[in-house]
Amino acid sequence: MTAVNDLDCINLTKRFDETLAVDDVSFSVPRGSFFSILGPSGCGKTTIMRMIAGFLDPTSGDIQIKGKSVLDTVPNKRPVNMVFQHLALFPMMNIADNIGYGLRRQGLDKKLIDAKVADALERVGLPGIGNRRVEQLSGGQKQRVAIARCMVLEPDVLLLDEPLGALDLKLREHMKVELKSLQAAFDTTFVYITHDQSEALVMSDQVAVMNAGRFEQLDTAANLYYAPQTPFVAGFVGDSNRWKGRVESVSGDQVKLVTETGVSIIGTARGTVQSGATVEAFVRPEAIRVAHSVNGIGEHANSFVGNVENVLFNGANSRVLLRVEGGGTIDVALPQSGEFNGLQRGDALAIGWGASQSLCFGAN
């Protein structure tokens, strides 16, 4: 029993004429978890979702729900429901009829439907709005109604297709938290697709980063951030300083390289990296220590002094663009502990980071 996942996709492939939209993707989603597929638009994530919902047939591979293949099950019989990108609430019905739509299809008794609809509205925190029309609701309320409309059917898997895309920033932040708690409250498996990394990182138990039809890495949010396995993931999840360079020497997994701009950096190899090879190095701005002078930062494998070229003030996310000796600029996060408040263009700063903070990937 415990071994059975809610959703298994096995060697899933979808080809549209000449283009391979989904290329041999396999993954499993355990019961009750929040699974996200994160990727840029056009990476194939929507295609996967539509195949699970039954609106597209895979070219090859299998989709199993609770261990049983659903390829031969038509969309209206699959135990999955979908929250559409623009929600697809029916404007010709009121809220209660929207939520009751699927229940009516099951031929339930009208009294029972009314009770279930009222209960669902209660659970999403919108009691008593059943008689309103769709266009009378705010963006966040519509969101919750769309989820309630699926959840009354108690699906094995709930699919969510970038449902927060249309909301403004503040509401989006709020709905992230709310979606996560709704998922916990309903104890249902959510499969969520998005191009917004913060949505995926905040809510998910597992995130698959997708690019060009393939999964680059399937991992926890923390691992994607701290231990990306491919240059795409390193570049896509979080911000990074990114350099191309040539490897000078290798010892163990420590790599010494010189960037195209002439800066010498010590980093950690990801995968096999050979001396003389071209590599890409990634350093996160927030992984760099900053001080007013060299004495302030302590011992680091990489340390530089430089002059402030620009201060990009953005509250907690403020950055400094530092021009270092030897050429090139480095993007450094500015700690908001008070000591850098008066930083001006031209001021001198010292920075440093350990070898483990600069990841090097062999460039192909």
Partner 1 sequence: MGAHGKLGFILLASPLVLWLSLLIIIPHIDLFILSLQEKIGVRQYQTSFANYMTFFSEPLYLRTFLRTAFMSIVATVLTLLIAFPISYYIAKIARGRLQSILFLMCLVPFWVSELVRTFGWMILLRETGIFSNFLQWSGIVSGPVEFLYNDAAMMVGLIYTSMLFMVVPLVTTLESLDDSMIEAGYDLGGNGYNVLREIIIPHAMPGIVSGSIVVFMLSLGNYLTPIMLGGKDSLWFTEMIYSQFIVRFNWELGAAFGFLLLGLSSLIVWGALKLSGQTLEKTMG
Partner 2 sequence: MIPTIKQPRAFSLIYGAYVALFFVYLALPLLVVSLFAFNDSLFPSLPWNGFTLDWFFSPEQPQRGVFYEKSILESIGTSALVAVSVAALSVGVGTCNAFLFNRYEFRLKSVLYVLMLLPLVIPGIVLGISILVFSSTVANGVEDSLNYDIEALRPGLVLVILGQFSFITTIATLVIAARLKKFDTSLEEAALNLGATRLTAVRTITLPYLRPAILGAVLVAFLMSFENFNTTLMLVGSDAPLTIEMFDRLKEGSTPVLNAVSLLLMLGSSLLALTMIAFQRKS
Q: Residues interacting with partner 2, by CB under 8 A?
A: 50, 55-57, 74-75
- Judged by CB under 8 A, the stretch of 63-71, 98-106, 226-234, 322-330 that binds partner 1 is 98-106
Calculate the alpha carbon distances from 7 to 79, 81, 244, 249 in Å: 11, 13, 40, 46
The burial class, CB within 10 Å (0-12 / 13-18 / 19+), for 237 is buried
Query: Which of these segments, 87-95, 110-118, 212-220, 313-321, binds partner 1 (CB under 8 A)?
Result: 87-95
Q: Interface with partner 1 includes 86 (CB under 8 A)?
A: yes
d(CA 115, CA 111): 6
Name which of partner 2, partner 1, none residue 289 binds, using a CB cut-off of 5 to 8 Å depending on partner kind. none
Cβ 26 to partner 1, closest distance in Å? 24
Q: Does 144 bind partner 1 (CB under 8 A)?
A: no
Q: In this structure, what DSSP letter does residue 199 have?
A: H
Q: Which is nearer to partner 1, 4 or 93 (CB)?
A: 93
Measure the CA–CA gap between 143 and 140, rounded to whole angstroms: 5
**Integer Cα distance of 111 and 247 in angstroms:** 72
Helix (H) or strand (E) holding 95: helix 95-105
Q: How many binding residues for partner 1 (CB under 8 A)?
A: 26
CA geometry: angle at 63 spanning 104 and 20, to 5°?
A: 115
What span, in angstroms and rounded, lies between the C-alpha atoms of 359 and 280?
8
Residue among 56 and 273 whose Cβ is closer to partner 1: 56
362, burial (CB in 10 Å: exposed 0-12, middle 13-18, buried 19+): middle
Smallest gap from Cβ 50 to partner 1, in A, equals 9
Q: Are residues 159 and 53 in contact, defined by beta-carbon separation less than 8 angstroms?
A: yes
Out of partner 1, partner 2, none, what residue 56 binds, judged by CB under 5 to 8 A for its kind, is partner 2
Minimal distance, residue 117 CB to partner 2, in Å? 26
For 18-53, b where at least 16 C-beta lie within 10 A, e where not — what string?
Answer: eeebbeebebbbbbebbbbbbbeeebbbbbbbbbbb
Among 26, 68, 69, 88, which residue sits at the site for partner 1 (rule: CB under 8 A)? 88
Among 153, 233, 288, 330, which residue interacts with partner 1 (rule: CB under 8 A)? 153
Looking at beta carbons only, is 56 or 265 nearer to partner 2? Answer: 56
Query: By C-beta, is 54 or 140 nearer to partner 1?
Result: 54
92 contact choice in partner 2, partner 1, none (CB below 5 to 8 Å, kind-dependent) = partner 1
* Closer of 108 and 258 to partner 1 (Cβ): 108
Under rule CB under 8 A, residue 92 binds partner 1: yes
CB of 33 to partner 1, least distance (A): 21
Residues 38-57 that bind partner 1 (CB under 8 A): 53-55
Binding partner of 150, given partner 1, partner 2, none, CB within 5-8 angstroms per partner class: partner 1
Any idea what the Cα angle at residue 169 is, between residues 165 and 172, rounded to 5°? 60
Q: Measured from the CB of residue 55, what is the shortest distance to partner 2 in angstroms?
A: 4
| Range in contact with partner 1 (rule: CB under 8 A) among 32-40, 81-89, 300-308, 356-364 | 81-89
Q: How far is the CB of 180 from partner 1 (least distance, A)?
A: 23
Binding site partner of 141, from partner 1, partner 2, none, Cβ cut-off 5-8 A by kind: none
Is residue 85 close enough to count as binding partner 1 by CB under 8 A? yes
Q: Where are the beta strands (DSSP E) in the chain?
A: 7-16, 19-29, 34-38, 60-65, 68-69, 80-83, 157-161, 189-194, 206-211, 214-219, 241-251, 254-259, 264-270, 278-283, 289-291, 302-312, 319-324, 329-333, 348-353, 359-362
List of residues contacting partner 1 (CB under 8 A): 53-55, 74-77, 80-82, 84-86, 88, 90-93, 101-102, 104-106, 149-150, 153
